[in-house]
Amino acid sequence: MIKAALFDMDGTLVDNTPAHLRAFEIFCARYGVMDWQQKLANAYGMGNDDIMRLILPEAVIRRKGLQALSEEKEAIYRELYAPEIHPVKGLIGLLERLRAAGIRCAVGSSGCKANVDFVLEKCGLKPYFEARISGDRVTRCKPDPEIYLTAAAALGVRPAECVVFEDAKAGIESARRAGAGRIVALATTLDRATLETETDADPVVDDFDGIGDLGSLLR
């Protein structure tokens, strides 16, 4: 029986991949990095430290430090995205349905706390989430299961009693390794064919309006 719902943030609460890509373009141009898009293609859902190590020269990381670089890039993202931010289609309706069913909710994101707070505040989502686990609250980000294990513990439930909503391969792997009872994949960042053939998510939906029978999902 499902007792809680754990939500990824980037690509799940908000379809913000284009905004992150624009921010990376500006950020990488500052450091003369030209091949960032190819390197970033396999990094969706990962934490910023891992992403920075993946796309930036070691000399830049030594000079600036991972935390300062991450903060710089995310500040660009928030400035770009603030004027256009909105929840993924159907999210508010689903959160209301979950609340009515007595399902408790938490955010489990590899993103930093500043970004989680930014999204929840700008989209009016704070009242729906009892716990917020960000990448800077754990020692290992997705695909490690720590974020979802921590989110489930924060709600006082077992991972097997949770449904996880995700959009990225790393996040789906994280949820599966945590022992989540159900995993719903959203085709926001990746297309349906990729999610259906390259992950073991349970249903794949285009957005939250695609979740029709909530009762069957929660059984």
Residues 93, 190: one domain?
yes
Residues 188 and 123 in one domain: yes
Verify that 108 and 205 share a domain, yes or no: yes
Q: What is the CA radius of gyration of the chain?
A: 17
- Joined together, the tokens standing for residue 63 give 């000079």
| For residues 142-164, average pLDDT | 98
CATH code of the domain in which 153 resides: 3.40.50.1000
Tell me, yes or no, whether 58 and 40 share the same domain: yes
Query: Is the domain of 113 the same as that of 182?
Result: yes
Angle at 205 between CA 98 and CA 25, to 5 degrees: 105
What average pLDDT does this structure show over 154-170?
Answer: 97
**Residue 32 belongs to domain spanning:** 17-83
CA distance 11 to 17: 6
**Residue range 44-53, pLDDT digits in tens:** 888 899 999 9
CA 198 to chain centroid, in Å, comes to 18
Count of CB atoms situated within 10 Å of the CB of 140: 14
Tens digit of pLDDT for each residue in 13-45?
Answer: 999 999 999 999 999 999 999 989 988 887 888
pLDDT tens digits along 204-219: 999 999 998 999 899 8
pTM greater than 0.75 (yes/no): yes
pLDDT of amino acid 141: 92
109 and 184 in a common domain: yes
Give 195 or 38, the one with higher predicted confidence. Answer: 195
pLDDT value, residue 45: 83
pLDDT at res. 188: 95
The single-letter DSSP state of residue 104 is: E
